[in-house]
Each structure stands twice: as C-alpha cells, then as structure tokens.
Structure 1
C-alpha cells in the first residue's frame, strides 16, 4: 500500500466540502499539500476522483463517490484501533465526533469539550454544530458518534441520556412593556409581535405552547439565528420565546435583555446525550457520557444560569 491515512483524510475533507480551499481551512493544512495528496491518490489508484470545475471547485466522479464510502470506512476502522487499544490497556484515547444543537453550542461546547480532553489528554473531540434533525441524521449515518441536543424528537433506534431540564420563558428588551412584569400568560403573549426561532423541531415546540391553549401567536418575523433574534428583541422588535438562559444579560450589540417567566405549567425541553442503540458501546463513548452526566445538571450548565440557580434567585 503506497498511500497514507492522512491522504485519505485529505480526500474525504475535499469531497465533503467540494473545495480544496475549504478542505484546507477545515484541516488547517496548506492547499498545495491537499492538492498533492489527491494527485498522488489518483495516480496510485489509477482512477480520477474529482472533476475540476474552473472557479467552481470540485465534484466527485462516479468512481470517486464509490471510493469515498470506502475511504470513510477505512478511517473508521483506523479510529477503531484506538478504541480497541484503549479497552485492552484500560486507557481512554481516540477521537470522538461530537454534534451539538446550535442553540446550545456556544455555551456548552467550549467548557464541556475542554474539560473532557483535559481529563483525558489522549482524546480529541471533533465538533459539529447544526439543528436537531441534521444532527440526528448524521448520527444515524455514523458521521457523528454522539449528539448533545433536546428531547423534542427521539426516533426509534436512538438512546437518550437526560441531563438538565429547561422550561420556556419570554425574552424582551429592557424598554418593552413586558419587562416590568413578574410573569406573563400565553394569552397576553398571543397578540404581541413574536420573533420566532425558525429551526426544525424547535419551531414546532414553541408554536405548540400556544396551540395547547387554543391560541395562535402573532409572528412578526422569523430567524434561524438565535443571536440575531436576541439582538432584534433587545432593539424593541418584539419578544421571543426561549429555553436557554445565557449568563450574559445583553445581546450581541450590548443592549440589555430581560427574562420574564411564563405563568402556568409548560413542557420544558431536556438537554441530553443522543447515541445509537447498540449491543455494546465503545468505552470512549461511555466515558464521555459519564463526563456529561457529572458536568451538566439542573444545578450547573456551562455558560448558562442553571434552572436550580434561577429558582433560588426568584422571589418566593
């Protein structure tokens, strides 16, 4: 065999991004190194892997699509060697492909990932951030080992380890009339302009809070970006519904935001760890789940005001 796993990894990154430039950015490797690796692979395999499009990147040839599947399988088998070795030697090592719900990632991922790799220096975490549906699809296709998201959809074939529960609340700018209230009802919210977080599953959850009471919200605008919504709210465009409670009380532009509780009982979302059901989990995954369970709870969530802390702050 006259090709290397590194060259295979360069091929996979280029195929997934459709661009040597983007593959270079993802891997933090120079573009000439990736180009050379792909050329070497094509010569060694005597097969053209890509069609080069002038100014439009690359696309896989039919042969390239077939070999991409085999390349990913080869890398997975190589990674599995670390898992087997760690189990034999009772050491925790190897790479974990971790996905995280986009609304959680900026708060949870940095501290959680760093604390894990600090505790287990022979491990590495490759992070992916996306919406719930996309993450579960990647987990199903074995592109991810584990996902941190909400319990809003748990399809058959997945395991879910609950970590912390987040009830919904209203978020407004400091000059909004709702900001002066100690709490607010769904009926009062229905007629006011709502800035809706328009992500799959999350969108249905928030709309369901109104539907449960036979109400329809007045949707002023929608966005898939939580930070954009937060800043719009801070600037007086309307209110939004949220579950996450960032420790920061300001939007991206520095304007203050105010959380207002919703009266009554409403279904919370539960942060947890998704994995595929299997006969036996890899030890690296088991250790990571244990780490999550000890690190995230109703009493402490990285980057957030945890539910128990919120209740302690609230007047009785």
Structure 2
C-alpha cells in the first residue's frame, strides 16, 4: 500500500523549490492550509522533519528532506514518463566527501582509494576546506559526509569518532625543550607561538592555554602547515599543530623536532560527520562504516604517529 500519494510528493517538492508554503501554494494553485496539512501528514508518516521552520525566513530543508525531495522528483519524473509511454532513465549515484584542509594530506587520498575500491559504481567527488567551509557545505547539502575535527559541532550533526589526536610542539633541534619527551602547555606559555591562520584552530589552541590560566604570546599565524614548520625550524617561535608530517625536515631543508604536548585536555577527536540526526541514506551508511573501519585502523594509527 502506498501511504504517500503522488500529489503529496508534488506538494513537498514545490515547498522545497519555492522555500515557503505561500509561494508553493500560489504556484500549485491550492490553498495554503491544504498544503500545510499535506506536508504535516507526510512528515508524520516518515517520522522525521523535512523542513526547518524559522519565523520570518524561508523554510530550510533538513538533510533528510533534501534526500526525500531528490528521490521524489525522480519519482514524479518517472511517473510522467510512464504516462507518456516513455522508458525511464536510471538515476546517477554519487558521493560528495569533505575533508578538513590540514587532515587532507594524510587521510583524503587513502579514503578515496578505499571508497572507489568498495563502490566502483558511485561517482565520488571531494572538497577540502576550513572548519566553517565544511560545516556550511554539510548544512547546505553540498557534501554528504566529512572527515574533520569535532570542533564547533552542535547537536544538529551526527558524528562518529575515528581516533584521538594530540597536538605537537614544533621547534628547532637546538631549542632547550627539544630533548624533552613531552612538554606541557605551561612549558610553552613563555615561548612565542606560531599558530594557524585558520580562525577556529588558533582560537582552540589559545583556549587550551586560557583554561589553564596561561596567556601566551602569538608571534606568527601561518597560512599552511609547511610555513608553520619552516618558521619553527628557523627559531621564529614554537609551532603548535595537530597535524605534522613524519619528515623531520621543512621544505627549505631545515631540521625540526616535534614534541608531544602532554596535557590531557588538549586531545582532540577526529570524526566522521554528517548533518542531521535522522536515518542516513543506505549508501551513506555503508560509506560511513567503510571509512570508520579503514581510518580507525592503520590510517588512523599512522596519522597519530605522524603528529
């Protein structure tokens, strides 16, 4: 038995296209209360919301709503083709993977390799971006799942931990702290620091110091990991980074040492995240299970050692 009619599918798609009940009702030439009632019944049957209602702004699609409308539009198109005695054309399956910029050199290529081996019939694209860029694209539906740190994610995101990452202090071999097995935030507080220009990354590092009553000085904000490593290798300050290549030499052939930071509250989780807390698409669910298995294993261990 079909619980959702083609007319109801059409109503939901119209609301998604026009962004409001009033505009969709005008387009369909139906009353707004009838449209609202149909939408409420569809959401009640599905058991999850298709739209986020915000007073004074357009109705925004939830991730489940976006997926529902994609499938509903395909269904409506196929129904129209059947009525016209045309043969429906198959849809295209795709996956859009996101990865935080600093994690991408370590995890993106292996993740793509595993995904393409496991899902040869899926068209896979990727996007590397900052924290804000990934979160915005997850919310807007431009990417399906992202590999990133757990920073700034609220209850509207589903995430699964891949592994924990500890920050490292980067410095030249002749620095007084270079021979220490580990260093603490207190050890580093009196040193000039080299942080990332990524706003949330720098804020996070500074918040670790402040939580411990420490107020360090930032000497540089570097636009990339390698600029940070070069500045640290030349004695411009101590770099603090969660990502650090195994190679103990910077791009300009200067040696540097990477010393783990011992404070327990400095540990940060690398997660696999998607927007929404409802059921995942079956393909996305399979993708998540594969990435969790592969990145929690050898890849995650290698990354942690590299830091």
TM-score bucket of the superposed structures, by smaller chain? 0.5 to 0.7
Report what 1:211 is aligned to.
Answer: 210
Shift of 1:302: 5.7
- Measure the CA separation in 2 of the matches of 1:246 and 1:164: 17
CA contact (8 A) 2:166 2:260 kept: no
Report what 1:139 is aligned to.
Answer: 138
Shift of 1:114: 1.2
Shift of 1:194: 0.6
1:300 paired with 2:278, answer no
Within-5 A mapping of 1:12-23: none
1:101 paired with 2:116, answer no
CA-to-aligned-CA distance 1:182-201 (integer Å, 9 cap, x gap): 22232221111111112132
CA contact (8 A) 1:169 1:260 kept: yes
Shift of 1:254: 3.2
CA contact (8 A) 2:166 2:261 kept: no
Shift of 1:227: 2.0
CA contact (8 A) 1:169 1:241 kept: yes
CA-to-aligned-CA distance 1:250-284 (integer Å, 9 cap, x gap): 22233332111224423311111111225332222
Report what 1:13 is aligned to.
Answer: none
- Measure the CA separation in 2 of the matches of 1:305 and 1:106: 10
Q: 1:303 to 1:107 in 2, by over 3 A?
A: farther
1:252 paired with 2:254, answer no
Shift of 1:150: 0.6
**Counterpart secondary structure, 1:178:** coil
CA-to-aligned-CA distance 1:188-220 (integer Å, 9 cap, x gap): 211111111121321121001210211111111
CA contact (8 A) 2:162 2:300 kept: no
**Counterpart secondary structure, 2:253:** coil
CA contact (8 A) 1:198 1:222 kept: yes
- Measure the CA separation in 2 of the matches of 1:164 and 1:303: 8
**Counterpart secondary structure, 1:128:** strand
Report what 1:233 is aligned to.
Answer: 232
- Measure the CA separation in 2 of the matches of 1:174 and 1:183: 14
- What TM-score does the superposition give when structure 2 sets the normalisation length? 0.66
CA-to-aligned-CA distance 1:18-48 (integer Å, 9 cap, x gap): xxxxxxxxxxxxxxxxxxxxxxxxxxxxxxx
Report what 1:198 is aligned to.
Answer: 197
Give the gaps of 5 or more residues in structure 2: 1-65, 75-91
Report what 2:158 is aligned to.
Answer: 159
CA contact (8 A) 2:156 2:275 kept: yes
Shift of 1:232: 1.4
- What TM-score does the superposition give when structure 1 sets the normalisation length? 0.64
Shift of 1:293: 0.8
- Measure the CA separation in 2 of the matches of 1:140 and 1:127: 16
- Measure the CA separation in 2 of the matches of 1:177 and 1:170: 13
Q: 1:119 to 1:242 in 2, by over 3 A?
A: same
Shift of 1:246: 2.6
Q: Alignment length, in residue pairs?
A: 224
CA contact (8 A) 1:231 1:252 kept: yes
Report what 2:113 is aligned to.
Answer: 114
1:243 paired with 2:238, answer no
After TM superposition, the structure 1 stretch with the greater mean CA deviation from structure 2, 121-130 or 177-186, is 177-186
- Measure the CA separation in 1 of the matches of 2:195 and 2:97: 27
